[in-house]
């Protein structure tokens, strides 16, 4: 089964209340749906692409309130998952949006989600973290500090992108490995989340920039 077929078979298209009118192909919002889907992928880590995570929801809200951050600019959404942030950037008027992930299912989900929302997003696979984001004028990352090893890889990438002049924005709901001493706060929001993947119904999500 192709990635596209798998996503269509195991998710449903639904409006994301915190990012309406954006719609995504999402897992059922109960434990059976979430963990059953994870088991069916036969992979580790979990299917991040099948949920609207707090960090991405916070970034989508920020871009809705501040479309000038991306309007007319080239945008890269790294570790894109469902593509929520990429879609929000496209809707905010970005000139060109690239969504990147190492998970083929995430790439399939992002392509489907972009089509469902009537926006154009270039989907690019592979690990980009050894670089600096190329020609992207804006680099976006949602919920990327959940794991120590990944946080240690992505933070230098984000700092290199910022050092060459890109606007770098990261959405994080106080995950364990967020490096607060190397970031500065831009905004914060309370966003409603899915309890089956979080420890509550609402998460305080901060938008950060590298120092």
| pLDDT tops 70 at residue 139 | yes
**Domains of the chain, first to last:** 3-210 (3.40.50.150)
CB 78 within 8 A of CB 106: no
Q: Is beta strand 138-142 parallel, antiparallel or unpaired with respect to 23-26?
A: unpaired
Can you give the pLDDT at residue 32?
Answer: 47
What pTM did the predictor assign?
0.93
Alpha helix stretches (DSSP H) within 11-53: 31-41
As beta bridge partners, residue 94 has 71
- Is the predicted pLDDT of residue 29 greater than 60, yes or no? no
Residue pLDDT, tens place only, 58-117: 999 999 999 999 999 999 999 999 999 999 999 999 999 999 999 999 999 999 999 999
């Amino acid at each position: 089964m192709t990635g596209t077929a798998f996503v269509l078979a195991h998710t449903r298209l639904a409006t994301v209340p915190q990012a309406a009118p954006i719609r995504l192909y999402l897992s059922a919002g109960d434990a059976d749906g979430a963990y059953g889907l994870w088991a069916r992928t036969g992979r580790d880590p979990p299917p991040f692409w099948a949920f609207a995570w707090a960090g991405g929801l916070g970034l989508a809200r920020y871009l809705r309130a501040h479309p000038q951050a991306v309007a007319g600019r080239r945008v890269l959404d790294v570790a894109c998952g469902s593509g929520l942030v990429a879609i929000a950037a496209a809707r905010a008027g970005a000139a060109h949006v690239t969504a990147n992930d190492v998970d083929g299912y995430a790439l399939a989900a992002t392509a489907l989600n972009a089509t469902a929302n009537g926006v154009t997003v270039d989907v690019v696979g592979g690990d980009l973290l050894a670089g600096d984001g190329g020609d992207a004028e804006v680099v976006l990352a949602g919920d990327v500090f959940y794991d120590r090893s990944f946080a240690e890889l992505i933070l230098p990438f984000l700092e290199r992108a910022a050092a060459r002049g890109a606007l770098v924005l990261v959405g994080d709901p106080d995950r364990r490995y967020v490096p607060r001493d190397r970031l500065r706060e831009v905004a914060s929001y309370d966003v409603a989340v899915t309890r089956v993947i979080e420890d509550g119904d609402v998460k305080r999500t901060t938008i950060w920039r590298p120092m």
